[in-house]
Amino acid sequence: MVGVPFRFVAFPYEVRDLPPQRRPFALPWGVPRVDVRLHDAAGVRMRKVNGRVVNAPGTQAQYGVQNLNSYRLTGDRLFLERAMAQAERLIERRVQVGAAWFFPSRYTYRRHGKSGDLMRPPWYSAMAQGHALALFVQLGEITGEARYVRAAEATFAGFLRRGPRRGPWVVCVDASGYLWLEEWPKRPTDHTLNGHILAAWGVYEYYRTSGDPRALQIFRGAATTVQRYARRFRRPGWISRYCLRHGGALARYHDVHIWQLQRLHTITGDVRFARLAEAFYHDYPPPQLAAEMVLTAGRHRVYRFDRRGRISGRRTLRLGADRRVKITRRARIRTRAGVWLRMTSGPGRGFWVREAAGRAYVPGLVAPLGASPDRHGTWIADEVTGRAFTGDGSVRAEKTLPGMVDGAVELDCEAVINGAVMLRVCGGPFSGYWVSRDDVRLE
């Protein structure tokens, strides 16, 4: 078999054959049986653009994969048939170049919502290509039909056609030799992170079933690019960039980046992806809405902030007893250290207070960040206390052990509990208990 017809940097990551529930497109929830969003008589997802109903291949491929996830969870054939309907529409509307299939969007679209940066029809997307590849691969596994296997082969061939060039393309190699799977492929390229990773997941799905060494090389190249460039997407202490060209920051995509980096850790077992996920997580932990916090007795400085994080009001609260206060948000404030809680009841209504363990905190567990595979570390405290908590943050059990320094520890989750950063141990004498983040050095 001829190899990939162009060169790029690729680290030889291990690539694991994961069980279905741990594969990158797997989710613990399914889509509804009744699709209340825009679709046609065949049950195929459609999109309205500038008042016109259009086929959107990325939307259709993604919805097909989601329906297969629902079929895996429920066994309900309706989901399988709906996934097949999405696949048939993609096949019908494909554009073929040599052995490769591409899936055109035949409408004008503003890249990143910018009026001067248009994707003109027909345009193509590596993210749509990756979702379509995953859809065909999974349908081939489930149905055993050779036509889906052939569709997957032709869709993967689209990743072997290097751009920028005339005609369809979705991949390119930058000046430093790194491979990009472009969600929005046009000159100049923008290098969108979430689309690049989702496309790589489709290539992983194809390699998992085909064993094609070219797919292994493409996946490794795409993963290498993530590792090389992830820190350019970071904004330490704030929301990560959506793409490298425009640099816009969107909180919902920051959460996606964390999740995607975790999945790359799951696929490869390479701890560097876990470290990146944790760095993004600490930069801007997922905001929590509609909760209740504790303000302990004493003096508290509270603030109002404008959109740029500048102080627009301040007040001092003096409480004679602990207070339970409703909040609508737990989040970072731009340019401000720490995590802040926005109060909607009590004497600080409308103000923010900085989260602090034992002073101002949401009781119980918030913002969990799981790890799969488990994270490894060593104890850096001689005496360690582990705690098990109830749902409201009360201590259910506690144990303290001496002589822990330099001992190995395995962990499967990080979270904030009662305002303090904690790690959950998953082996040894503290298994199932939470310990302070300050007691552990992660590998």
Rounded CA separation 406/403 (Å): 9
pLDDT of residue 1: 59
Which has the closest alpha carbon to 341: 322, 357, 319?
A: 357
> pLDDT tens-digit profile of 368-385?
999 999 999 999 999 999
Rounded CA separation 426/373 (Å): 11
pLDDT of residue 116: 78
Number of H helices, E strands in the chain: 8, 23
Q: Which contacts of 423-427 are long-range, i.e. CB under 8 A and separated by 24 or more positions?
A: 425/386, 426/374, 427/374
In the block, which residue shows the tokens 């082969």?
153
Which has the closest alpha carbon to 413: 274, 300, 286?
A: 274
> pLDDT tens-digit profile of 43-89?
999 999 989 999 999 999 999 999 999 999 999 999 999 999 999 99
Are the beta carbons of 283 and 234 closer than 8 angstroms?
yes
Q: Which two tokens stand for residue 392?
A: 């409201």
Give the number of C-alpha atoms closer than 13 A to the C-alpha of residue 308, restricted to the C-beta side.
Answer: 2
Longest dimension (CA), the chain: 77
- Number of C-beta neighbours around residue 276 at 10 A: 24
pLDDT of residue 202: 98
Q: Phi and psi dihedrals of 171, rounded to 5?
A: -125, 155
Are the beta carbons of 319 and 331 closer than 8 angstroms?
no
pLDDT of residue 246: 85
> pLDDT tens-digit profile of 115-132?
778 999 999 999 999 999
Cis preceding linkage at 188, omega within 30: yes
Secondary structure (3-state) at 299: strand
DSSP secondary structure string for all residues of 388-411: EE-TTS-EEEEEEES--TT-EEEE
**Burial track 189-208 (b if 16+ CB lie within 10 A, e otherwise):** bbbbbbbbbbbbbbbbbbbb
- Number of C-beta neighbours around residue 175 at 10 A: 5
Pairing state between β 311-319 and 298-305: antiparallel
Q: Which two tokens stand for residue 172?
A: 């390119």
The residue ranges of the chain whose pLDDT is under 70 are 1
Which has the closest alpha carbon to 123: 183, 65, 72?
A: 183
pTM of the prediction? 0.95
pLDDT of residue 316: 97
Cis preceding linkage at 122, omega within 30: yes
